[in-house]
Structure 1
Amino acid sequence: PVGAFVPGPRRERADRPLFGAKQWQLPNGLRVVLAENRRAPVVAQYLFYAAGGAEDPAGRSGVAHFLEHMMFKGSPNVASGEFSRRVAREGGNDNAFTSRDVTAYFQQVEASRLPLVMQMEADRFGAALFPADQLESERNVILEERRQRTDSSARSRFQEAFRAALWGPQTWPGRPIIGWEAEIRAITRDDLVGFYDRFYAPHNATLVVSGAVDEATLRALAEEHYGRVPARPGAARDRARAPSVPHEPRLVTREPTAREALLIRAWIAPSLTAGEARHALPLEVLAHLLGSGQGSRLHAALVETGLAVSAGASYDGEAAGATEFTVYAVPRRGVEPDRLEAALQATIATLLQDGPTEAEVARSRRQLSSGALLALDGFGAAPRMLGGVLAIGLSADVVEFWPARLRAVTQAQVTEAARAVLGTATATTGWLLPEAA
């Protein structure tokens, strides 16, 4: 979500576009977006593909992420590892990320070096090599990444298991983006090439450039470099319908290495692309007033009363398909799990019965807007926000006019959304407990 301000010395009206981005399409189907910004002589290039971990083939979780790694292993005119070395020599930086819904590759460089990074990105876009002799070494890198980020942490293992309990371990929302270990080990080069051929096509990609470049220059550069990538059939998302009820209602995990307990409860929820989309923005406001730290309901009911050391809520409506609304709490030492869970449930029940107050809704609208100032001021904010929504089939207006849409959310809409989602019995509750608990 983005707020009601544009980076810079003056405040803009909330009904004006945040970035004023321009869009066009190349003959091969690639969508190009420009968010011009002249505050510094730098540019950011982001290439989004409308495919993420949720598009992994059955039994091959982790393919999208594995492919992200292999895209740095060379293309016809750029040797393996040379892409990042060239960017670094120019004083820039580059990286990539895989989410449930998208895979994106980005570079941030001085403005005059934009042609260089466009040339290299277009080269691997059109013909990445995936050398077979580097497959196993990269698999080991990914397995080590999984060990460090997930397997070595009791909380991370629990959170992964919780998502699987909510959605099902072999559903597209329930599989880990990095992949289950056994399935990472089973991924073949053919799996990677098949995913690349299916999704890495111009019609399935969005190029977003922000910074010190004008439209005429970017049009010429995009046509010169990306226009040469031939159109090909490829495929769009074709996911099975997401579950409408949780896979398991309850998960209790006892871990000898856990340093503190953790309570999570999640409900399957609509997003801007699935289900009752009209609830999406009110659910963002609801998550804020429930769990945004001091002044929120969960903080008052659980932290200020001494039951928990922290508590919060989260929701992301900018998703391709169904999503989840989550609340969590970390109990204070000595507090019985049943006591904390009962207090959490009572807080939600009161909210559902009475609804939020107008003051709470107004506070959340205000803080959501003003709290986005720092995010908007970040160099990569515009391309990440714009590319993220466009790659899941939403309009750029979702970002550009987010402040006006947020300002229009009413107390009645937040109450209705809360009762439609949190008022159902279809939630998954999970406890991570130290072994001695």
Structure 2
Amino acid sequence: MRLSTKGLKEIRMFKRHLIVTAAATALMMGAALPAVAFETAPASARAASAQVQAPAGVEVPPLGFERRVLDNGMEVYTALDRNTSNVAVQVWYRVGSKDDPQGRSGFAHLFEHLLFKATRNMPEETLDRLTEDVGGYNNAFTADDVTAYHEVVPANHLERILFAEAERLGSLVVDEDTFISERDVVKNEYRQRILASPYGRLFGLFMPQMIYQEHPYRRPGIGSIEDLDAATLDDVLRFHETYYRPDNAILIVAGNFDQAQLDGWIDQYFAPLERPDRPMPANDVAEPDITGPREATFYAPNVPLPAVVLSWPTVAYDHPDRAALTVLDGILSTGESSRMYRSLVYDQQIAAQASSMPDFAQQAGYLAAYSLMAGEATPEQGIASIQAEIARFRNERVTDAELTEAKNELIAGALRERETTDQRASALGWALIMTGDPATADNEIAAIQAVTAADIQRVARRYLTPERTITVRYLNADDANPPSEQVLNVTAPVTLDDLAPAGELVTLAPEAERVPIPEPGAPLEPVTPQISERTLANGVRVLVAPTGGLPLISARLSFDAGTADDPQGRAGLAGLTASMINQGTSRLSPPEIATQIEQLGASIGAGAGVDFTNVYANAPADVFGQTLTLMAELVRDPAFAAEELERQQSQAMDGLRVALSEPGSIASQSVGRVIYGAAPYGAPGSGTLTTVPAITRDDLAAFHTANWRPSTATLVFSGDITPEAAWALAEQAFGDWAEPSAPTATVDDSAGAALAPRVVVIDQPGAGQAAVVAARRSVARDDADYYPLLVGTNLLGGGYSSRLNQEIRIKRGLSYGAGASLGARADQGVFTASTQTPNENAVEVAGLILAELARLSAEPASEAELGPRQATIVGGFGRSLETVDGLGSWVANLALYDLPMSDLAAYAGRVNAVTPEEVQAAAGRVLAVDGISLVIVGDASLFIDDLRAAYPDVEVIPLDQLNLDSATLR
């Protein structure tokens, strides 16, 4: 996993909806169908029955790939889509972390990193030049059974990506220096994901070793520092020779292409690759069934809330019971109407989070249910409550309503997971890896529909019994209970002796002897939709961005008020107001709201940004009218019941405690105070441990009345909807919404006066890594320097090829990744450059960030360097328009910043028009190093002396003395 895609062993700790590729983290933190007629209801229907008609017309289009097999055994799948200007290329290899040789855990993942380096005809980082630099992207992930590489590029670059993928399959080049550097990167990934995350050890290390007794799934996919250090270059060469062969690979291409031309390129680049005549190492371990309950307690540093996990061995992916277990999991924990949320979070209020995750791997599987305990609740309470909910499945059949709701959620989720060509290719890839059958991804929709209440009770009685329960408690380490150690030296079915001998050593050919990379073809221009606009009589501005594609519609209702409008001493009010809209109206209770949303297979929610608040809804087209009617009720008639406020405050407080245990999150919470001090932009938008409990029901009602009003509202529709249908729905839902008599609230000077730069260290003893952030004020969104700074920020830290990532990760192996962000706002925004690194490297990394910032304003970038960064921005913009939510978000942001809708079509041109001189000048005006503040969060004992030598005025704040309510942080 190169940057932020999911992967490794913890991929199993993600909650997956039907298709494995789409997931929401368990930690805290085809052909288009015609539009379906809406079922609308008059505004008076808001007072009618709470019953909602379940969706009946939602269909998930088949993936529609064509298959052929090359003579060398490589499987090829292609799917044409004329509705996009891009193409997705994926290569899936049937090798994953289960195939790591004994003593080399984490090796498949380490090897994944190395495959991005050189080949015989491509120098290091060429793949990034072929993807990022033309407006695409590349990434990869390693899971238990697979390593997959994927790219999305403008369609005219397809031949070049096929050339590159064939190159790294057939002629990989790895030298000792590259191997050592990338191994250091993976070790930093281990520190960041496992050691620095409060629950990283639990889900990444301890749960796999508890769930599996003999199967190699019990080893963490990311490995261990010890095993990574033991790996050698010879291991790399032998691993490549063993598993990276055409008959062990699946090539998937989806997007806009000419089929005959594509077939010819595949024959040209992949068909000549030879299939070895030797077998691959056998690795099909039969995990023994559990013979009795098991339990253990683990300890780790900086665990803010105790956690418990109960798990049960279940079935592999290709088992008939997978569908029933998937629906069971949906009833158990999907959404706020689910059994676990209702019991542990809502009714008993003993859990900050409660959820479950089914994992169906190729050779075995499990279901795990977890809870992060809230307040004074004990792990034993969590265990007992989870056991009670599981027992209900065994002792009584689920209701018809629960069954229908879970199915609708799963099927609507499958629809959303096929919006882009990349998503559809991934759905196919998972099906092929797990079952070998390309029809699996389509057939599982029917399998879900066929599940009965009797099926769910049967699988609960078969698999989820007390005798099969594995119970884990996860607690904060202390003097009496030191951190639990990772289990090392785990036996594995594959040994180093099983690997093939290293093949002929491949080296980078002299430039004159290299096979040239194909030239790109004629570009296909992305098309932005025509935006239609009307204003309702009460002032609501309505914008419509219709698209073709899947039968999905998104609505986004935005208001000109955000966290900067929180009153003094009430930080978190805007966010809490937004979170409360799903927590009851005068007609509906929170469980009734959750049930209606989930019965529709819809999503409705709200969140507050710095300047604005957004309420969003997404639903299949045939139930979108009902979804918008419900959304309008939540917006216009929130109850703000005192008991619901207490629940939300308790959950928010637990979330803050978790956030204040992780270095990166602590840094992000603190930067605002360093840059803006006591000004409105300075307060943490999520609130603090002091301000959140001080918020009252009257505060919520007053904020809602002052800021949620038709005269400041913008409603954006995007997706499978016509302007005429949108106008009618907007009028029915919001046309009779009266403007409140109270005056509109306003906040002047959100950014406040500029402050002197500071160097702040927040000391977190035992932190797994240090978070390093350089920050200063930037510009407003409508500032003339916005586009030059946007391009400059991307040049500095906008991707794998950016300057910061090159210097910190690629050249020195000091971090898993480094980046920069331009936080443009209505007033002066904030610029940040950040990374995480071993504590002892914090000072060096801070110096590297500042040096690159200084270079940005000291000299102009070359056109050759700037052009690819502009393409990266434009490519990301184009891909974001492929989903209905992404398109709606762009349109809403233009409206909220009072920018013309023509900027949507003009965006790419404005980015590409920026010159190197404009970037240099804007950086000199806005990002000069003498105005930069540094915030470093980590174990200060490991770097403070060196930092003081460079910055004698450094402020050191112990984490237990950090005061986010104060402009000084003290």
TM-score normalised by L of structure 1: 0.93
Query: What residue in structure 1 maps to residue 852 of structure 2?
Result: none
Query: What residue in structure 2 maps to residue 75 of structure 1?
Result: 119
Query: What residue in structure 2 maps to residue 261 of structure 1?
Result: 306
Please, which of 169, 172, 190 is the counterpart of residue 216 of structure 2? Answer: 172
Query: What residue in structure 2 maps to residue 300 of structure 1?
Result: 342
Please, which of 317, 325, 333 is the counterpart of residue 272 of structure 1? Answer: 317
Query: What residue in structure 2 maps to residue 432 of structure 1?
Result: 474
Distance 1:323 1:398, change over 3 A: same
Q: Does the 8 Å CA contact 1:267/1:324 hold for their aligned counterparts? A: yes
Residue 425 of structure 1 deviates from its aligned partner by: 1.2
| Distance in structure 2 (CA, Å) of the matches to 1:415 and 1:194 | 48
Residue 402 of structure 1 deviates from its aligned partner by: 2.6
Match status 1:316 vs 2:359: yes
Please, which of 102, 108, 114 is the counterpart of residue 58 of structure 1? Answer: 102
Other structure's SS at 2:455 match: helix
Q: Does the 8 Å CA contact 1:74/1:82 hold for their aligned counterparts? A: yes
| Distance in structure 2 (CA, Å) of the matches to 1:89 and 1:360 | 48
Deviates more, 1:355-364 or 1:204-213: 355-364
What amino acid maps onto 2:474 in structure 1? L
Q: Does the 8 Å CA contact 2:86/2:256 hold for their aligned counterparts? A: yes
Query: What residue in structure 2 maps to residue 354 of structure 1?
Result: 396
Per-residue CA shift, 1:173-232, capped at 9, x if unaligned? 111111122111111122222221111111111000111124322211111111121121
Deviates more, 1:240-249 or 1:20-29: 240-249
Query: What residue in structure 1 maps to residue 712 of structure 2?
Result: none
Match status 1:25 vs 2:69: yes
Deviates more, 1:35-44 or 1:388-397: 388-397
Q: Does the 8 Å CA contact 1:92/1:108 hold for their aligned counterparts? A: yes
Query: What residue in structure 2 maps to residue 400 of structure 1?
Result: 442
| Distance in structure 2 (CA, Å) of the matches to 1:257 and 1:96 | 30
Please, which of 443, 455, 463 is the counterpart of residue 421 of structure 1? Answer: 463
Deviates more, 1:93-102 or 1:248-257: 248-257
What amino acid maps onto 1:430 in structure 2? V
Residue 358 of structure 1 deviates from its aligned partner by: 2.3
TM-score normalised by L of structure 2: 0.43
Per-residue CA shift, 1:359-394, capped at 9, x if unaligned? 211111111111233221134111111112212343
Other structure's SS at 1:209 match: strand
Please, which of 213, 220, 240 is the counterpart of residue 285 of structure 2? Answer: 240
Query: What residue in structure 1 maps to residue 261 of structure 2?
Result: 217
| Distance in structure 2 (CA, Å) of the matches to 1:124 and 1:425 | 48
Distance 1:7 1:247, change over 3 A: farther
Q: Does the 8 Å CA contact 2:120/2:173 hold for their aligned counterparts? A: yes
Deviates more, 1:103-112 or 1:370-379: 370-379
Query: What residue in structure 2 maps to residue 183 of structure 1?
Result: 227
Match status 1:10 vs 2:34: yes
Please, which of 174, 180, 200 is the counterpart of residue 136 of structure 1? Answer: 180
Please, which of 356, 360, 371 is the counterpart of residue 413 of structure 2? Answer: 371
Q: Does the 8 Å CA contact 2:63/2:428 hold for their aligned counterparts? A: no
Deviates more, 1:353-362 or 1:228-237: 228-237
| Distance in structure 2 (CA, Å) of the matches to 1:262 and 1:16 | 37
What amino acid maps onto 1:337 in structure 2? P
Unaligned runs of 5+ in 1: none
Q: Does the 8 Å CA contact 1:313/1:326 hold for their aligned counterparts? A: yes
Other structure's SS at 1:324 match: strand
Residue 269 of structure 1 deviates from its aligned partner by: 1.1
Query: What residue in structure 1 maps to residue 146 of structure 2?
Result: 102
Q: Does the 8 Å CA contact 2:357/2:369 hold for their aligned counterparts? A: yes
| Distance in structure 2 (CA, Å) of the matches to 1:345 and 1:248 | 13
Other structure's SS at 1:316 match: strand
Other structure's SS at 1:239 match: coil
Query: What residue in structure 1 maps to residue 128 of structure 2?
Result: 84
Q: Does the 8 Å CA contact 2:293/2:467 hold for their aligned counterparts? A: no
Q: Does the 8 Å CA contact 2:298/2:473 hold for their aligned counterparts? A: yes
Per-residue CA shift, 1:103-123, capped at 9, x if unaligned? 111111111110001001101
Query: What residue in structure 2 maps to residue 380 of structure 1?
Result: 422
Query: What residue in structure 1 maps to residue 206 of structure 2?
Result: 161
Q: Does the 8 Å CA contact 1:290/1:313 hold for their aligned counterparts? A: yes
| Distance in structure 1 (CA, Å) of the matches to 2:293 and 2:108 | 27
Whose RCO is larger (CA < 8 A, sep 6+)? 1
| Distance in structure 1 (CA, Å) of the matches to 2:462 and 2:130 | 52
Other structure's SS at 1:78 match: coil
C-alpha RMSD of matched pairs (Å): 2.2
Residue 263 of structure 1 deviates from its aligned partner by: 1.1
Per-residue CA shift, 1:216-267, capped at 9, x if unaligned? 2221111111112112135265232224228981121233411111111111
| Distance in structure 2 (CA, Å) of the matches to 1:347 and 1:53 | 33
Larger gyration radius, structure 1 or structure 2 = 2
Other structure's SS at 2:118 match: coil
| Distance in structure 1 (CA, Å) of the matches to 2:382 and 2:139 | 41
Per-residue CA shift, 1:262-290, capped at 9, x if unaligned? 111111111233xxx11111000011100
Per-residue CA shift, 1:322-365, capped at 9, x if unaligned? 01111111222111222222122112112211132222111111
Identity of aligned residues (%): 27
Other structure's SS at 1:360 match: helix
What amino acid maps onto 1:180 in structure 2? S
Query: What residue in structure 2 maps to residue 42 of structure 1?
Result: 86
Query: What residue in structure 2 maps to residue 342 of structure 1?
Result: 384
Other structure's SS at 1:369 match: helix
Distance 1:214 1:19, change over 3 A: farther
Q: Does the 8 Å CA contact 1:246/1:268 hold for their aligned counterparts? A: no
Residue 171 of structure 1 deviates from its aligned partner by: 4.0
Per-residue CA shift, 1:129-187, capped at 9, x if unaligned? 1222321111111111111111122311122212212214x741111111122111111
What amino acid maps onto 2:235 in structure 1? D
Q: Does the 8 Å CA contact 1:15/1:403 hold for their aligned counterparts? A: no
Other structure's SS at 1:32 match: strand
Deviates more, 1:339-348 or 1:7-16: 7-16
Deviates more, 1:234-243 or 1:106-115: 234-243
Distance 1:247 1:110, change over 3 A: farther
Q: Does the 8 Å CA contact 2:215/2:286 hold for their aligned counterparts? A: no
Aligned length: 430
| Distance in structure 2 (CA, Å) of the matches to 1:203 and 1:140 | 31
| Distance in structure 1 (CA, Å) of the matches to 2:286 and 2:87 | 39
Other structure's SS at 1:376 match: coil
Query: What residue in structure 2 maps to residue 291 of structure 1?
Result: 333
Query: What residue in structure 1 maps to residue 902 of structure 2?
Result: none
Query: What residue in structure 2 maps to residue 192 of structure 1?
Result: 236
| Distance in structure 1 (CA, Å) of the matches to 2:31 and 2:340 | 32
Residue 421 of structure 1 deviates from its aligned partner by: 0.9
Other structure's SS at 2:64 match: coil
| Distance in structure 1 (CA, Å) of the matches to 2:445 and 2:305 | 38
